[in-house]
């Protein structure tokens, strides 16, 4: 019974915390407001979480772990079968849409927290994946600057779709069409780079 009550308190605090972090970002988020919204005392808060950062991490870490595992699998699948690129983009967008609030917090409201530079971590992960993909297609190391720009474009494209003021169906449509466009562009780019390699 006591464990149920504690679990319920934790869930209330996570829900109220997510709302507060979304509204004010990590730095400006108020523990008092989180406790008021959750209907618990600050004592109950500190019984459940050591600090504001512990709460922040409890809200975001499971999704971060899930996102990184999924991103790794999708990128690996794309290297093995380039035709899966558009499907991978759609799966990724479905995940981002299902967790849009958390994405907004981590990308725009994480200053001062353990996830302050998380977008750089995602870019780096994408750079490694892009480099591996182009290496598999070219048989040599791709241009590092080109890979960095392509990874940044992909991440910014996903965020642009996420931020568009349109319904989910339209966001998925945009993801598919931009994925098709990117695939065609990628094929042309690889052709161009192969010509450079064989000069």
Chain segment 42-53, per-residue pLDDT in tens: 999 999 999 999
| Nearest-angstrom CA–CA distance, 144 and 54 | 36
| Nearest-angstrom CA–CA distance, 151 and 126 | 5
Query: Which two three-digit tokens encode residue 109?
Result: 């409201």
Question: Is 54 domain-assigned?
Answer: no
SS3 label, residue 44: helix
User: What pLDDT does 199 receive?
Assistant: 62
Question: Is 162 domain-assigned?
Answer: yes
* pLDDT tier at 3, thresholds 50, 70, 90: confident
List % helix, strand, coil for the chain (3-state, nearest 5).
Answer: 85, 0, 15
Query: What is the total count of domains within the chain?
Result: 2
Is the distance from CB of 143 to CB of 75 less than 8 angstroms?
A: no
* Average confidence (pLDDT) over 109-130: 91
24 and 113 share one domain:
no
43 and 86 share one domain:
no
Out of 11, 30, 49, a domain closes at 49
SS3 label, residue 142: coil
63 and 13 share one domain:
no
Supply the range of the domain harboring residue 12.
1-49
Is the distance from CB of 86 to CB of 180 less than 8 angstroms?
A: yes
Tell me, what DSSP letter sits at residue 24? H
The pTM (predicted TM-score) of the whole model is 0.84
User: What pLDDT does 97 receive?
Assistant: 94
- pLDDT surpassing 90 at residue 78: no
């Amino acid at each position: 019974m006591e464990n149920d009550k504690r679990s319920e308190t934790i869930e209330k605090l996570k829900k109220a915390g997510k709302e507060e972090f979304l509204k004010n970002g990590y730095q400006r988020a108020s523990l008092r407001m989180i406790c008021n919204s959750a209907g618990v005392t600050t004592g109950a808060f500190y019984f459940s979480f050591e600090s504001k950062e512990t709460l922040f991490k409890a809200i975001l870490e499971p999704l971060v772990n899930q996102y990184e595992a999924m991103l790794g699998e999708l990128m690996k699948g794309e290297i093995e079968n380039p035709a899966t690129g558009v499907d991978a983009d759609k799966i990724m967008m479905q995940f981002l849409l299902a967790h849009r609030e958390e994405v907004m917090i981590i990308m725009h409201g994480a200053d001062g927290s353990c996830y302050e530079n998380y977008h750089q971590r995602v870019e780096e992960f994408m750079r490694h994946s892009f480099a591996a993909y182009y290496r598999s297609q070219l048989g040599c190391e791709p241009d590092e600057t080109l890979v960095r720009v392509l990874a940044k474009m992909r991440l910014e494209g996903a965020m642009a779709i996420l931020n568009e003021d349109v319904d989910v169906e339209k966001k998925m449509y945009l993801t598919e069409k931009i994925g098709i466009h990117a695939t065609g562009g990628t094929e042309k780019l690889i052709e161009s780079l192969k010509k450079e390699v064989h000069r």
